[in-house]
Structure formats: structure tokens, C-alpha cells
Amino acid sequence: MTQAAVTDGFHLVVSALKLNGIDTIYGVAGIPITDLARLMQTEGMRYFGFRHEQSAGHAAAITGYLTKKPGICLTVSAPGFLNGMVALANATTNGFPMIQISGSSDRSIVDLQQGDYEELDQMNAAKPYTKASFRVNRPEDIGIGVARAIRAALSGRPGGVYLDLTATALSATLEGGTAARSLVNVVDPAPSHIPSRESVERAISLLTNAQRPLIILGKGAAYTQADDDIRKWIERTGSPFLPMSMAKGLLPDNHPQSAAAARSFVLREADVVMLLGARLNWLLAHGKGPQWSPHAQFVQVDVAPAEIDSNRPVAAPVVADIGSAIRCMLQSTAPGQITPSAGWLKAIAEQKQRNIERMRANLEANPVPMNFSSALRPIRDVLADRPEVYVVNEGANTLDFARNIIDMQLPRKRLDSGTWGVMGIGMGYAIGAAVVGGGNPVIAIEGDSAFGFSGMEVETICRYRLPIVITVFNNGGIYRGDEINRSELGDPAPTVLMKEARYDKLIEAFGGAGYHVTDRETLRRALAEALASGKPALINCVIDPKAGTESGHIQHLNPRSVLSKSN
């Protein structure tokens, strides 16, 4: 920083962030951080003002995932802070590096609960949802506070960090020399974790003896950005691989070793499974039956030691960062050393073929009104020639179908509801990807319910003129649009939304391009035109209200009353 005779907390925050290479901020302005947002702009940072802190937070989280630098969300006190917390907690759950910075009210009043404006003990409220939670009370601690937040967000398993800045610290002044000396340039915030030699040898020996190996790629592997080595490793082992949803594209979905089209078969039959940056959580049925063989043995590469044995015993843990682990494994494995049995590869190929045929039939069908497959068909075709486009995806049926139908060709292009299956990430992720995604366009494939959680951010998208095309899969409801009200009163049923809703009109209110489509040819043209324009657009896709299933593909997690009339 230039050494003025005197500076203040606002300037120190900006200098501390810039010193550490952070130049993009998402937030909502208000007391006490309005001037901080202004100053960020003055000082050459990009500040994106949102309509709701949750979306700003989601934009920050996905920025962290895509750039391996903590994404920053800036909020006001109490309610603004809490609005951002869902995104911060979601970042922690998904392992995305993010820092939420919130201004806070006068501590002497807050701590005695004397009823200050927006009073809340934010630092303690944030603790259960974050990797770390800090409060800066004095301007001379801003440098170290920012440094601690960056290191906590990035090291080990990345996650969310909360940094509380009191109004007092922000406005307090400090002598220029003291201020400059208080700043901290964080050195090597995510140091490599080299695996032990024994752990690598144990893993290789298990894989070498496998007949039916399987490699599962998770978003930890995508986050690592060791794309070339991961590809080399998969090809060297000749092993079938399954990408978890956000790891799609790490190797292209049409790679011959992809077993995605034979997913349940390979989970059930594999004898040695290597988990690369994927947790054995609900998304993998906890590694247990009936989806998994009780005899399968696991290799797990993860930077978080406590993740090992979380759901099932792991025979060969490799605690390391994935980049280092894969490099070591490549060095210690000769080509041809790990070879799946021919029978295994043949069985997978046959299974894939059968499933691909079935899917092809669904994609060829052209029902009126459109269903999920037929509406995704033109999107899939358009994206096949545009691998650089980011795909944001949320909903239930809209999520399940799009995950299966839309092929990804490049790493980290698919951004979705993730570990929690959360609704509301849509516009935040889309904006974050548009901002830090190298100028590539974004398509958000949204259920109509899912879109509603962050829909007001279309104004933000239009205000910043971002190249985002939103497709709303409008089936008039959560899961389905045809549920009937079972009461005597005339209220709509719990899962029903307005069938006739014209989401396209919403974006027109802000100068964006709206399209209303009821068939797949019009959808194809609308999407091609919208993507080519590079301007904000929203395509309202009318989908058959009867097309979906309740809870999508996770119906088994949805408890139903055995007594109520509703069954």
C-alpha cells in the first residue's frame, strides 16, 4: 500500500485483500460496510452488488471452487450476516474455500445485549458452520485477521471461514507506517501434502491385484486442478471410472473408460474401488449394500485424514493432496501393471450399450408437451459444440435428468446443488462463473421451484450484463405440477406452483431477452441465439406437469405417512 501519514480500517481491509491477490467481492451494501464496498471499487477491485446475501455468498463459494482462492462475500450485520450463512455453510459442506466478511455492531452494546442496531454475536453464531470464525477488534489486527481467514479457508480440506469486522475497527485510524507493517502476505496457504511411501505402495498393491477395479472421481479431484495427471493415471490403469456430478468433464463423458452409463452395475460388482476426492456419503449410498458389494475394498485419496473409514473400512488410505498423490502413484506404477480383467471390461461395455440404447430412445421421443428428456435434447446438442460453456444445474427432476443427459467435456464446467442437494445456488453460481470463468458463457438449467430461490438476481445479471442464459424447466411445481389439493379449502397443493407462470417476462423487466418455448425446435433456436448474443436471457420451457417423480431419484429418502389419506 502507498504509505499515507494516516490510514483507517476500511483501507486496511482493501490493502490486505489485494496484497493476497483477491480482487473480486460479492455482497450487499449497508451499515457498516457501504464505504468498504465503495473503496473496493475505487481501489480497482471488482465489487458485485446482489439482491440477497445468500446469492452473493454462493457466487463467492463457486469463485473459490473455480479459482482455488477464497471467494469473498461481504455483508452487513445480523440479518445480512445470517442471509449469507447458508452459502457459507454450503461452502464448508462442499469443501469450497470462501470467506464471509460481515460488519458488526458496537461490541460493548452487543455483548451486554442492550439492543443495538442489528445486534448479534456473529462470530459465535458462525462457528458451527465454518472451518474457523474470527473477529477483528482493532485496525492493527486486520492484516493478520485476513491472513488467518485465507489460510483457514484454503488449507487441508477447503471450506468456509467467517471474518467479523467491527464498525469500530473499520472506522478507526492508524499511523501509516504501523498500518503498512501490520499487513500479512500469506505464503503457501495450501501446502502440498505428500503421501507416505507405504500408503502409496499399499494402494498400488491393492489395485494391482484387483480384477474389477473402479475409480470414482469426486469434486475434490476436480478442485485440485491436476487434470493432466489424473487423466494419465486413469489411462495408465485402464480402469473404468465414474465421475461424481461436479467431477463430470474431468475426463470427457464420452471417454471410452467412463462407466457412467453402467453406474449401478459397476458399484455393485467392483472389487477394488479407488476414491479420488469423493466422500462415501449419501451420494454414494455410504458405500453400503444393496448398491455395493460387501466384499469391495477401498483405496481412498483424501486430504482430510478423518474422512478415511467414515462409512466403511478403507483398506488403503492415502492421506495427501490429490496432485501429489497421483504424481507419486504414476511414478510407482509401470504401464500394464494395473490391468482390469477382460471379463470386467466386456461386461461393462455390454451394460453401457444397453443403457445407452434406452437413453437414446428417450432422447429421440418428441412428446407434446415436452418432458425432461425431450427438453434437454436440444440443450445437449447445442452444448456439444460449446464445451467451454459453464452448466449450472439445480432442481429435482431437472437436476437428475440434466446430470445424465448433458455430457461435459471439460473439467469444472458443471456446477450444481452438490453435497446438500441445496436449492438456491442457481443465480449465485451462474454469476460467479460468469465473473471468474474467463469470459465463457453460462447456462443455468433450473427447475421452476429451484429458480425461485434466487430468481431476483436476474436483475443483478442484467445490471452487470453477464453472458448468462437461464432455462427454467416450468412443470408448474416442486417435482410435479399436477398435485391436487386434498383439503376442503381451495388452496393450491403443497408442491404446486403457478402453471401459467411466464418467467421470461421477469427478465424482460430488466432489459434481458425473454423466450417462451413449448417445443424442442424453438428451444434449440432460442438457446443458440441467446448464447450467441452473449447477453442475459431467460427461456421459459413449458414441461408436462405430469412428467416428473416426487423427489426425483431420491424417493427412498422421502418419508411418507403410513396413516394419512395422502397415500
238 binds, among ligand TPW, Mg ion, ligand ADP, none (CB under 5 to 8 A by kind): none
**Residue 419 is a binding residue for ligand ADP (CB under 6 A):** yes
Q: Which of 154, 242, 246, 537 binds ligand ADP (CB under 6 A)?
A: 246
Residues with Cβ within 8 Å of residue 510, at least 6 apart in sequence: 458, 459, 462, 463, 536
Instruction: Give, for 166, the enclosing helix (H) or strand (E).
Output: strand 160-166
Binding letters toward Mg ion, positions 462-491, x by CB under 5 A: -------------x----------------
In the complex, the smallest distance separating the C-beta of residue 420 from ligand ADP, rounded to whole angstroms, is 10
Strand order through the sheet with 390-394: 414-416, 390-394, 442-447, 468-474, 537-542, 513-517
Site for ligand ADP in 93-112 (CB under 6 A): 94-95
Counting contacts by CB under 6 A, is residue 304 touching ligand ADP? Answer: yes
Q: Bin 247: left if φ > 0, else alpha if -120 < ψ < 50, else beta.
A: alpha
Task: Report if residue 435 touches ligand ADP, rule: CB under 6 A.
Answer: no
All residues at 6 or more sequence positions from 140 whose CB lies less than 8 Å from its CB, including other chains: 174, 178, 179, 182
Which lies closer to ligand TPW via its Cβ, residue 219 or residue 231? Answer: 219
Give the nearer residue to ligand TPW in terms of CB position, either 130 or 475: 475
Under 8 Å CB-to-CB from 267, ≥6 apart: which residues? Answer: 214, 242, 284, 285, 291, 292
Q: CA angle at residue 72 from 70 to 76, to 5 degrees?
A: 150
Does 270 engage in binding with ligand ADP (CB under 6 A)? no
The percent helix, strand, coil of the chain (3-state, each to 5) is 45, 15, 40
Q: Decide: is 32 part of the binding site for ligand TPW (CB under 6 A).
A: no
Binding partner of residue 396 among ligand ADP, ligand TPW, Mg ion, none, CB under 5 to 8 Å per kind? Answer: ligand TPW
User: Per rule CB under 6 A, is residue 404 in the interface with ligand TPW?
Assistant: no
In the chain, the amino acid numbered 38 is R
Q: Is 155 in the site for Mg ion (CB under 5 A)?
A: no
- Which residues, 152 to 171, sit near ligand ADP by CB under 6 A? 157
Measured between alpha carbons, how far is residue 153 from residues 157, 410, 532 in Å? 8, 26, 37
| Grid cell in block for residue 439 | 469470459
The contact pattern for ligand TPW, residues 260-299, with x = CB under 6 A and - = no contact, is ----------------------------------------
- Based on the number of CB atoms within 10 Å of its own CB, is 266 exposed (0-12), middle (13-18) or buried (19 or more)? buried
Q: Which range, of 20-28, 300-308, 405-413, 476-484, touches ligand ADP by CB under 6 A?
A: 300-308
- Distance in angstroms (rounded) separating the CA atoms of residues 59 and 457: 11
447 touching Mg ion, by CB under 5 A: yes
* Interface with Mg ion, residue 448, by CB under 5 A: yes
> Is the separation of the CB atoms in 45 and 14 below 8 Å?
yes
Dihedral sign computed on CA atoms, order 350, 352, 358, 363: negative
> Does residue 25 contact residue 40 with C-beta atoms inside 8 Å?
yes
**CB closer to Mg ion, 100 vs 397:** 397
Cβ atoms of residues 58 and 86 within 8 Å: no
In the complex, least distance from residue 417 CB atom to ligand ADP, rounded to whole angstroms: 10
* Number of residues lying near ligand ADP (CB under 6 A): 23
Which one of the spans 52-60, 175-183, 277-285, 398-406 is the region binding ligand ADP (CB under 6 A)? Answer: 277-285
In the complex, least distance from residue 459 CB atom to ligand TPW, rounded to whole angstroms:
21
426 touching Mg ion, by CB under 5 A = no
CA dist., res. 281 & res. 295, Å (int): 18
**Interface segment toward ligand TPW; rule CB under 6 A; list 221-229, 393-401, 402-410, 508-516:** 393-401
379 closest CA partner among 294, 454, 467, 443: 443
Site for ligand ADP contains 172 (CB under 6 A) = no
Residue 423 binding target from Mg ion, ligand TPW, ligand ADP, none, CB below 5 to 8 Å by type? ligand TPW
DSSP type of residue 429 = H
Single-letter residue type at 300: Q
Q: Does 432 bind ligand TPW (CB under 6 A)?
A: no
| 473 contacts ligand TPW (rule: CB under 6 A) | yes
Cell numbers found for residue 497: 406452483
The reply to whether 545 sits near ligand TPW by the rule CB under 6 A is no
Q: Which does 239 bind (CB under 5 to 8 A by kind): ligand ADP, ligand TPW, Mg ion, none?
A: none
Rounded to whole angstroms, the Cα distance separating 380 from 385 reads 9
Binding site for Mg ion (CB under 5 A): 447-449, 475
Binding site for ligand ADP (CB under 6 A): 94-95, 157, 218-220, 223-224, 244, 246-247, 277-279, 281, 283, 302-304, 307, 321-322, 419
Binding site for ligand TPW (CB under 6 A): 395-398, 421-424, 447-450, 473, 475, 477-479, 548, 552
